[in-house]
Amino acid sequence: MEKRTVITIISAILIFSATTVLYLYTAGYRLDKEKNKIDLSRTGMIGAKSIPEGANIYVDGQLTSATNDTISAVTPGKHTLRMLKNGFVTWTKEIEVFPELVTDITAILVSQTPRLEPLTNTGARLPTISPSLSKLAFFTKDSTSPGVWVIPLTNAGLSLFRSTPYAALEDTAYNFYSDGKAIEWAPDEKSLLVLDAKDNYYLVDLNANTAESTSAPELLRQTWNQELAKKRADFIAKVNLPQELKEIATASDTIWSPDDKKFLYTETTGTTISYKVYNMEKPLPVGEKVETVVFTIDTKNPKPKVSWYADSFHLILIENYSDQEYKGTIGLIRIDGTNKTVVYNNSMYSDMVFSAPGGDKIIVLTSLKSGEQTDLYTVGIR
C-alpha cells in the first residue's frame, strides 16, 4: 500500500513538473547559463514577414527560418535581422526584442532586375495621382479621344492590356484640353480641377462626365482644403497631439501617409534639413517609434522629391532628377531610415513618381525613344 502511495506521489510530481516545464517553455521562458549560473528568464518573439515571402531569415548571422514565420525564444535586446531571397536585394535591419512581446517586421524585397512595362501607349503628360493612390489622371494626345484621361489603379493587375483607362474630358473644336498645364484631384476623388493652355480652369465631374468652367479656383481649393483639414483635425483630436505638432500636421507642406495615421514633415536646424515621420498608430506596433528621423541633408544640397509608398511604412525618394537631361534615381526607404534601395536609375520625364496600391510596381513617366512621346510605365519591383 505504501509502495503504491509513493509511486502515485512520484507520478504526480513528474506530471506536475513536466506540465510546468512545458508551460514555461511555451510561455517563452528559457534557461540562461551565462555568468556561470542558471537563470530562468523571459524571452520575446519576432514575427518576420517578407513581400514576396520565402526569404531566408538570419538572426545575428544565424539561419533561423524562412518567411513568413514567427521566431520564438529570442533573447530580449537588440538583434540584427537579415532576409535573403535569390534575385532580390538583401534586407537588413537592427531590431529590438522585448520580453513577452512579438516584434513584427515586414520586409519589402526589391528585385535585382526590375521590369519596365508600358501602362499607356498613346502619350501621357503631367500625371497626378488621387489621394487614395487608386486613380491616376493625365493629359494625352490620343488620336481618337485626346484630352484628360483617368486610369483606375487596381491590385488585380496593372498593365497596358489589363488596365481600363477612360476619357474624363475630351478635346473639342474650341478647347484643346490635352494641351493643359495642371490637374488637381478633389479630396473625395469625384472631380478634377483642370487648367488648360489658356489659363482657364474647368471643374470635371467624373461621375457625370461633364465639365464646367470656373472663375474661382482658389475658392474651390479653399473648400477642398477645409474638408481635408477637418478630416485631419478629427483624427488628431483622438490622438492628443502636442500643440506644436498639431500645427505641423495641418501645414500645407506636410504629407500624410495613405493610411492617414502618419505624416512626413521637414525640420531645419542650422545647415541641415531633417525629414521626419510622426506615427499616430494606436496601439503603436512593437519596436516602432512615435517619431523618427528618416534622413538629413545639407541645406546647400538639392532636395529630393518625397512621396509615400503604398504600405505607409516606406517612402519613395526621387533624387538627382534633371529636367534637362531627363534622368533621375528612384529609391525606396523605410520610415526609420533603414534599407534605402535604388529601384530605378534611368530616363524620367517627370519627378512625379507613384506607388501602385499593391506596392508591387512604381509608376514613372518616361520614353524609350529620345525626343518621342512620353508614356506612363510601371517598374515591377517584385
Instruction: In whole angstroms, give the CA distance from residue 10 to residue 251.
Output: 71
Contacts made by residues 366-372, CB under 8 angstroms, sequence distance 24+: 366/326
Output the pLDDT for position 266: 95
Instruction: In whole angstroms, give the CA distance from residue 173 to residue 159.
Output: 32
Strands 44-51 and 56-59: unpaired
- CA torsion angle for 175, 179, 181, 186 (degrees, to 10)? 60
Q: Look up residue 137 and give its three cell numbers.
A: 489622371
Output the pLDDT for position 40: 47
The phi, psi pair for 174, rounded to 5°, reads -110, -20
The phi, psi pair for 119, rounded to 5°, reads -105, -25
Output the pLDDT for position 38: 46
What is the CA angle 178-183-185, rounded to 5? 140
Output the pLDDT for position 339: 92
Output the pLDDT for position 296: 96
Residue-by-residue DSSP string for 86-126: TTB--EEEEEEE-TT-EEEEEEEPPBSS-EEEES-SS--EE
Q: Is the peptide bond before 304 cis (omega within 30 degrees of 0)?
A: no
Block mean pLDDT (10 aa), the chain, length 382 = 64 62 52 50 88 95 93 92 95 92 92 91 93 92 92 76 85 91 94 95 91 92 89 84 87 90 94 95 89 95 93 94 90 94 92 90 87 88 88
